[in-house]
């Protein structure tokens, strides 16, 4: 295949641009000017006139909960609800269409605070014959009705189970939400497999050619095996990160990596992200660490010595400290130059932590879309109420990190935010704190070249160079040529995986 008459951003070491490229056997055979590429084309090759459209390496989303993303389409969409009344109306509609005894799941309550979630009494008014679980957007908070509490056998004394006057309200936050079984435990395998296939088609339509799938573990047994089995039939490539602390199990599956959302702490909106200083609106609450320092250190040291790449979820600065300290110890005891250990989220690091991450070669995987979705939705005042302005100024310090040579991979944490790299690129380039904005080209690399590097795949993908796989995305406009605030509105015209078109907007 030949793609010609385009604006090709190669992202090679010189950030070169080209007009055309040739694809053979699923790989990029040649990149250059229209004349030389068309001249070199063999008889019978398919050719596509790009008509000036922009070509980038296929996007890489470095943080996706693949099965959870797939299953959200099977539940109630609560993303636009703004009150408990609206939530209950949607629940009632779903209950009339769902056989008694079957689970009803709802995603995502975005506009309610962690102190305003519906209770089991609210949900029981709608149905007592279906188990119901409704999830907050941050993934660390949910509401259950009485039947769901009974089926899951939720202990009343479990930390994170909200109680009023000794009675469970049905609101569950961390650490309880980190140990309850995931909803997929109650679904048939063929249902989950079909959901993965449908979700992957939607992912390809966003120009994404590779996802890092952070899945499985004790709360979702069999998920990583299902994803590995299904991956070969999908229009997107999958790099699995097994969310377990069982090192032997990861090794037995032949995986070179372990972790993902092994959650060192929770989330800010749930008041469970672990902080050095307390939440401004709850002076006695510093958030919560899920593991002791010894537990975290033992796991990281063991996985590191086994030669695995490790990824751990850390939102607050106190959680970052716990995990960073463990990484530093592992590297002192068993030096390894190219470990590429990851910290997921890395949302509010201290200056000292940024410096140590740079020295240790730790790689932060971050989600720029968190900025407009959470921190700056409705203005900074919303977060200042419980976060304080000095801390809020430390949120997502992209420019500071890049200036220190720290590579950042971009992701969505889907289903927490939607898989949409163009929206993520826009968010990184339009950070509300102007001093932390980064050039659009650097933001693009978060979702291409850096994503490949985080998975040791930079020799295969992430840039458009001879010999690399032909994973490509064609865009209606050049993200570097529009005002940053318009990047998220650029259209994905075509997605190619190994040189084959897996999504096309129009003929």
CATH number of the domain to which 494 belongs: 2.30.40.10
7 and 46 in one domain?
Answer: yes
What CATH number is attached to the domain comprising 175? 3.10.310.70
pLDDT (0 to 100) of residue 137: 75
- Where a domain ends, among 406, 438, 470? 438
Domain-embedded: residue 455: no
Kindly state the helix (H) or strand (E) to which residue 142 belongs, with its residue range.
Answer: strand 141-144
Task: Based on the fold, state whether residues 80 and 27 are members of the same structural domain.
Answer: no
Which two tokens mark 299? 């796991």
Indicate the SS3 state at residue 168. Answer: strand
Q: Say whether both 426 and 370 belong to one domain.
A: yes
For 351, the domain range is 251-438
Residue 223 lies in a domain: no
The reply to whether 418 and 380 lie within a common domain is: yes
pTM, two decimal places:
0.91
Same domain for 18 and 166, yes or no, is no
Task: Name 342's bridge partners.
Answer: 311, 363
Q: Can you give the pLDDT at residue 124?
A: 97
Give the residue from 159, 184, 209 where a domain finishes: 184
- Which 3 state secondary structure label does DSSP give 155? coil
- Whether 359 and 389 share a structural domain: yes
User: Are 305 and 374 members of one domain?
Assistant: yes
Task: Please say which residue of 184, 200, 231 terminates a domain.
Answer: 184
Residues 420 and 465 in one domain: no
The rounded radius of gyration (Å) of the Cα atoms in the chain is 23
Contact 424, 19 (CB under 8 A): no
Beta bridge partners of 257: 309
Q: Look at the chain and report how many structural domains it folds into.
A: 3
265: left (phi over 0), alpha (psi -120 to 50) or beta: beta
Same domain, yes or no: 102 and 45: no
Instruction: Please check whether residue 217 lies inside any domain of the structure.
Output: no
Residue 244: inside a domain: no
- Is 212 inside a domain boundary? no
274 and 407 share a domain?
Answer: yes
In this predicted structure, what is the pLDDT of residue 379? 67
Query: What confidence score (pLDDT) does residue 179 get?
Result: 80
* Structural domain contains residue 226: no
Q: Do 129 and 10 belong to one domain?
A: no
Residues 314 and 428 in one domain: yes
Side by side, the strands of the sheet bearing 309-314 are 257-263, 309-314, 342-345, 363-366, 409-410
Q: What is the mean pLDDT of each run of 10 residues along the chain (507 residues)?
A: 97 97 97 92 86 98 95 85 91 95 84 76 97 86 94 90 93 84 79 93 98 92 93 96 97 96 91 94 94 98 98 98 98 97 97 98 97 80 79 94 97 95 98 96 98 98 98 98 98 98 90
CATH number for 294: 3.20.20.140
94 CB-near residues (< 8 Å, 6+ apart): 76, 104, 106
In a domain, 239, yes or no: no
Residue 224 in any domain: the answer is no
């Amino acid at each position: 295949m030949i793609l010609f008459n385009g604006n090709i951003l190669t992202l090679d070491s010189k950030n070169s641009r080209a007009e055309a490229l040739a694809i053979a056997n699923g790989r990029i055979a040649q990149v250059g000017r229209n004349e030389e590429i068309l001249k070199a084309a063999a008889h019978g090759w398919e050719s596509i006139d790009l008509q000036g459209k922009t070509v980038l390496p296929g996007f890489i989303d470095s943080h996706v909960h693949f099965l959870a993303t797939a299953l959200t389409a099977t539940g109630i969409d609560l993303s636009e609800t703004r009150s408990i009344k609206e939530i209950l109306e949607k629940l009632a509609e779903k209950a009339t269409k769902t056989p008694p005894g079957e689970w009803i799941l709802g995603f995502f309550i975005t506009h309610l605070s962690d102190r305003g979630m519906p209770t089991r009494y609210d949900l029981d008014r709608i149905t007592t014959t279906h188990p119901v679980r409704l999830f907050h957007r941050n993934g660390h908070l949910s509401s259950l009705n009485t039947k769901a509490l009974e089926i899951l056998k939720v202990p009343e004394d479990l930390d994170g189970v909200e109680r009023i006057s000794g009675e469970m309200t049905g609101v569950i936050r961390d650490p309880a939400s980190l140990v309850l079984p995931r909803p997929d435990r109650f679904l048939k395998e063929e249902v989950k497999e079909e959901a993965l296939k449908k979700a992957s088609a939607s992912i390809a339509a966003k120009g994404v050619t590779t996802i890092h799938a952070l899945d499985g573990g004790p709360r979702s047994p069999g998920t990583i095996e299902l994803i590995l089995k299904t991956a070969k039939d999908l229009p997107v490539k999958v790099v699995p990160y097994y969310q377990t602390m069982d090192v032997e199990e990861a090794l037995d599956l032949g995986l070179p990596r372990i972790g993902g959302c092994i959650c060192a702490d929770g989330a800010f909106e749930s008041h469970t992200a672990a902080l050095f200083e307390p939440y401004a609106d709850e002076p006695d609450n510093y958030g919560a660490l899920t593991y002791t320092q010894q537990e975290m250190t033992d796991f990281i040291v063991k996985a590191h010595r086994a030669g695995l790449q490790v990824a751990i979820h850390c939102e607050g600065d106190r959680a970052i400290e716990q995990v960073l300290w463990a990484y530093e110890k592992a590297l002192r005891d068993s030096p390894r130059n190219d470990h590429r250990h990851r910290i997921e989220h890395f949302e509010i690091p201290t200056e000292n932590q940024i410096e140590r991450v740079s020295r240790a070669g730790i790689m932060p995987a971050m989600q720029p879309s968190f900025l407009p979705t959470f921190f700056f939705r409705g203005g900074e005042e919303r977060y200042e109420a419980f976060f304080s302005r000095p801390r809020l100024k430390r949120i997502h310090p992209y420019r500071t990190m890049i200036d220190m040579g720290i590579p950042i991979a971009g992701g969505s944490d889907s289903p927490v935010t939607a898989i949409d790299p163009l929206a993520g690129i826009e968010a990184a380039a339009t950070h509300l704190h102007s001093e932390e904005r980064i050039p659009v080209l650097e933001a693009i690399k978060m979702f291409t070249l850096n994503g490949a590097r985080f998975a040791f795949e930079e020799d295969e993908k992430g840039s458009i160079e001879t010999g690399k796989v032909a994973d490509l995305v064609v865009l209606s406009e050049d993200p570097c040529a529009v005002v940053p605030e318009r990047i998220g509105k650029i259209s994905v015209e075509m997605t190619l995986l190994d040189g084959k078109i897996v999504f096309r907007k129009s003929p």
